[in-house]
Structure 1
């Protein structure tokens, strides 16, 4: 049996990819950044915190056998893929792409086409391993902005039966929640074998642990149910997981 553990990872300790159009912070090994002791937590392999400058972005590139969830915090991200899906992802609109047997897609900050005052787009992209390889590629999005106004944890993407309204991912052991908290508001984390809490914006206090600042994360093993309270306006992304990668 695993011993209860909360492993806090600070924002400044993340791997960084910084070029003229991209500022990307990687919570786990990614691309040219590799640490054998930091490849995943549960079934979560990627938690990239990205800022992309206007008129730039990720050109068409391939993915395979991965569930990819994108959450925009500011600005707008234009998605296009080889399955014919296209759209603009903005704050409060969750997106899931199942790479399955193989898919090509691009992600661009095209705010300069849509407004007179273009701005960087800030988003978090998370990759989860699917239950099985070789599924049919797919795409789904859902508007949950109004649900976030209540201040609680809102199911965003899930493979669990208990989350009928969430975007479906092909992993029955994982679910993603989001929350927007005003100062003083709090939420209780799920009680699950594995949790990943990421604070993309704002400052919060984690019960029994202390302060988490923007970009900080906490990895929970065999413990859950703690309260997270906002010190200032904050946003949370929480993965509940009931399995891990062997």
Structure 2
């Protein structure tokens, strides 16, 4: 079974400096039909104006993964971490018992475009943690590259959640197939471009929720960048 949710069906918030689309209930956007999908609790498609960002604020009991599409995001947190993440970088922050952090556009002129993902942790009250890894375009070209997983396999960031995240770049004749483990569900989010997901055409911002299927095929891409979530 494959269900499609189109980009314009998402929640939307425009704050001038921040333009954000919410795939699941978040802040002032309440959608009882889309609170979470398995362990996937938040998927925000954020565009942050130059010189702007989120001041110091707290989180707890959440696995937060940031995937940058363009520009750069400067991160600082109460664990002493500080870095700027850019396209190709994947950042994981485990909030656990509590952490403070800030996130600002690293440029004063150019917009930053990113996906902020929250995953429900397997257990509450864990120790806070931080990790970031870089994944080259050639590792995602025409294939699904695991970028986050519970066991940190193949050099991915390690999340304390029953979820794995794969990234792919699909264009032209390139094709990638994901064999879905028994009993798992899949969520596919098109970050940009367009492609077919198991025969259904999806554009930037669209998503597919897939259950009781043995495989998911990504094909006929038009400069597509896509994230695939394997979820319980």
TM-score by length of 2: 0.95
Matched, 1:27 2:18: no
Instruction: State how far apart, in whole Å, the 1-side matches of 2:9 and 2:118 are.
Output: 20
CA change 1:221–1:170 in 2 (3 A) is same
Residues 195 and 224 in structure 1, CA contact (< 8 A), matched pair in contact too: no
What residue is the counterpart of 2:189 in the other structure?
Answer: 198
User: What displacement does 1:37 show?
Assistant: 1.7
How far apart are residue 146 of structure 1 and its match?
A: 4.9
Which residue in 2 is equivalent to 1:211?
201
Q: Secondary structure at the match of 1:226?
A: strand
1:135 and 2:131 matched: no
Q: Partners of 2:140 and 2:228 in 1: how far apart?
A: 17
> Does the Cα contact within 8 Å between 2:74 and 2:104 map onto a contact in 1?
yes
> For 1:36, which of 12, 29, 32 is the aligned residue?
32
Structure 1 position 104 matched with structure 2 position 97: no
Q: 1:50 aligns to what?
A: 46
- 1:128-185 CA distance string (max 9 Å, x none): 0111011110100001115535421111010047x242110012x2100001122221
Contact 1:190 1:240 in 2 (8 A): no
Bigger Cα displacement from structure 2, 55-64 vs 148-157: 148-157
Q: Name the SS of the counterpart of 1:202 in structure 2.
A: strand
What residue ranges of structure 1 are gaps of 5+ in the alignment? 113-117
* Aligned counterparts of 1:106 and 1:177: Cα–Cα separation in 2: 26
* C-alpha RMSD over aligned residues: 1.4
Q: Is the 8 A contact 1:98 1:137 kept in 2?
A: yes
Q: Which position in structure 1 is the counterpart of 2:135?
A: 144
TM-score (norm: length of structure 1): 0.90
Structure 1 runs of 4+ aligned residues shifted over 4 Å read none
Partner of 1:157: 148
- What is aligned with 2:229? 239
